Structure formats: C-alpha cells, structure tokens
C-alpha cells in the first residue's frame, strides 16, 4: 500500500493524463527501411486502462510527437482524449482539466522525461517511471517500480484504485465480464 500522503493524493484522482513515449512505450522508436515508425505497448497497461475506465476515471494521452500510432492506441483503448504535438504539456494538462471539469488535485500525470516536468508540477499526483532521469524523479510524488513500457501505467492505476478502495470490485467485475463465470 502507498504511503499515507501518496494514498491521500491518489484517493482524489478523477483524471489520469499519460505521456506516451517512455511511459506507455519503452521510449524506443523503431524505423523500418521504408521509414515507417513502430512502437510496442504492454498489454498490462491496456487492461489497466480498461479498469480505470470501469472505475469511472477519465483518461488522456499527451505526447510531443505527432505520430498516428498514439492516436490509434488511444482509440483502441477507449481513452477519452489524445493530444498530439504537445510541446507544452503543462498547458495541455490544464486544458484537459478544464475540459473534464476537475480540480488540479484530481489530476494524476505520469511522464518520463524533462519536457514532462512542468506537467508533473501542476498535477495532484505526479508520477514517473523507474527509468526516468533523476531530475524527473525529483519532482514526482511516486516513482513506479516498472520501467516505461513495462506496465508502469497499470501499476499507477492499481495504486489509484486501491487508494480509492475500488480495486477489487473493479477487477472482479472485469474478470466476470471478460473471463466468463
């Protein structure tokens, strides 16, 4: 279970905003000989986002890239909003907060690199991944055990839902719906 201050922050979360490269992916950008860009995503994060949605959390992806891959992944996962080409992530987080009508302390942001610091600084729950640089870890309330692209988002969602005391109920409903019985 998280520390009391972290649990108190996580209990208030209604909007989860995520960077893409280095958070939902491992940060590598693979190019084919034709110049096509490829990225890999972890299925645990996808299931985590389904659990977040079931629990009533709003979700958003914010990325500095303009790659259609993030848009496609967000659409597949039912993410509420995908912001591409976001170089000023703090402003993007604040716009999403206004769009969804949530207070600053009800926003969790997970990022992994220097351009994420301003967004982390305005989030009620600032989270980074295990392989983030020290400067990013220094501003985060939580550093996940998982590296980016290896289930870090799922870990964060579990922390939030356990703090809100809805984890087991949400998991049980998900398993009943998708796993039979």
Residue 170 domain boundaries: 4-179
Q: How many domains does the chain have?
A: 1
Q: Give how far the C-alpha of residue 122 lies from the chain's centroid of Cα atoms, to the nearest Å.
A: 15
Q: What is the CATH number of the domain that holds 12?
A: 3.40.50.1000
Other beta carbons within 10 Å of 105: 14
- Pick the closest to residue 148 from 112, 108, 109 (CA basis): 112
pLDDT (tens place) for every residue of the chain, 181 residues total: 567 899 999 999 999 999 999 999 999 888 889 988 888 999 999 999 999 999 999 999 999 988 889 999 999 999 999 999 998 999 999 999 999 999 999 999 999 999 999 999 999 999 999 999 999 999 999 999 999 999 999 999 999 999 999 999 999 999 999 876 5
The length of the chain is 181
Q: Using DSSP, state whether 62 is helix, strand or coil.
A: strand
Q: Determine the Cα–Cα distance for residues 122 and 165; give it in Å rounded to an integer.
A: 25
């Amino acid at each position: 279970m998280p520390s009391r201050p972290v649990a108190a922050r996580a209990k208030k979360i209604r909007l989860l905003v995520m960077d893409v490269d280095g958070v939902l992916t491992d940060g590598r950008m693979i190019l084919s000989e034709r110049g096509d860009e490829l990225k890999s995503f972890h299925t645990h994060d996808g299931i985590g986002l389904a659990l977040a949605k079931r629990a009533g959390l709003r979700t958003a992806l914010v990325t500095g890239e303009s790659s259609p891959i993030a848009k496609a992944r967000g659409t597949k996962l039912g993410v509420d909003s995908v912001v591409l080409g976001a170089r000023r992530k703090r402003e993007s987080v604040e716009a999403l907060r206004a769009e969804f009508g949530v207070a600053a302390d009800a926003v969790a942001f997970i990022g992994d690199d220097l351009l994420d610091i301003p967004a982390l600084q305005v989030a009620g729950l600032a989270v980074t991944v295990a392989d983030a640089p020290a400067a990013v870890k220094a501003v985060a309330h939580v550093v996940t055990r998982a590296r980016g692209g290896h289930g870090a988002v799922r870990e964060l969602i579990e922390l939030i839902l356990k703090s809100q005391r809805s984890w087991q109920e949400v998991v049980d409903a998900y398993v009943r719906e998708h796993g039979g019985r």
